[in-house]
Amino acid sequence: MPLSDPQPRELFHTRNIRMRGFRRADGLWDIEGHLVDTKTYDYVNTWSGPRYKGHPIHEMHIRLTVDDEMVVQDVEAATDHSPFPICGGGNDNFKRLRGVKIAAGWNRKVRELLGGPLACTHIREMLGPLGTVAYQTIRSYLRDVLSEDPDRFREGTRQAKVNSCWAYASDNEVVRDRMPEYYTGSRPAAGP
């Protein structure tokens, strides 16, 4: 169901973010994010000159290379467009994520290693959702395609999912039917 019809309005800003997960030939995974901000009007930036409608104000990329255990092996960040010529200067700091596991505490670790003036805000903000993309790419593939025992990958994450969102509320039917051992509602769990 889409959103309701909006009031009459005019578009001024668009942010497009594209995130993708790739399996590499060497067995590692590349998880990539690409962010582009544009305006619908021309203006002048005192640092970088005229900015034209539809032309990127921000255009940044990040690639996390991770292993099957979701440990970051390498990181590459790039800035194609930014309001200040120095914006890409902190991109090498993203390499501080080498050796960090994408798991519970990922966002906290990102803030600890890259918070404040240590890195570009726009690229850093992509890292939370990129963690989710990594999980959806890697764990799903290993569980659904390669594993003869899919529950092997589910068991470690089952409890973590409980109360992580509306559908996984401990008293909702998803938990009742899929993880009855964590169900706290009053209706009995469905049978097998």
Q: What is the pLDDT of residues 122-131, one digit of tens each?
A: 999 999 999 9
Question: CA 186, CA 164: separation in Å to the nearest integer?
Answer: 20
Question: CA 22, CA 63: separation in Å to the nearest integer?
Answer: 10
Q: Does position 141 have pLDDT exceeding 90, yes or no?
A: no
Do 91 and 181 lie in one domain? The reply is no
DSSP one-letter code for 118: G
Do 173 and 119 lie in one domain? The reply is no
Do 59 and 133 lie in one domain? The reply is yes
Q: 182-191: which pairs have CB atoms within 8 A and are 24 or more residues apart?
A: 182/158
Do 142 and 174 lie in one domain? The reply is no
Using alpha carbons, select from 62, 96, 73 the residue that is nearest to residue 26.
73
Enter the pTM of the model. Answer: 0.84
Within the chain, strands assigned E span 13-23, 29-39, 43-45, 49-51, 58-66, 72-81
Do 81 and 138 lie in one domain? The reply is yes
Do 121 and 167 lie in one domain? The reply is no
In which element (H, E) is residue 114 found? helix 106-114
Contact 59, 80 (CB under 8 A): yes
Give a yes or no: residue 154 inside a domain: no
Label residue 147 by pLDDT band (50, 70, 90). low
Label residue 155 by pLDDT band (50, 70, 90). low
Q: Which domain holds residue 36?
A: 13-149
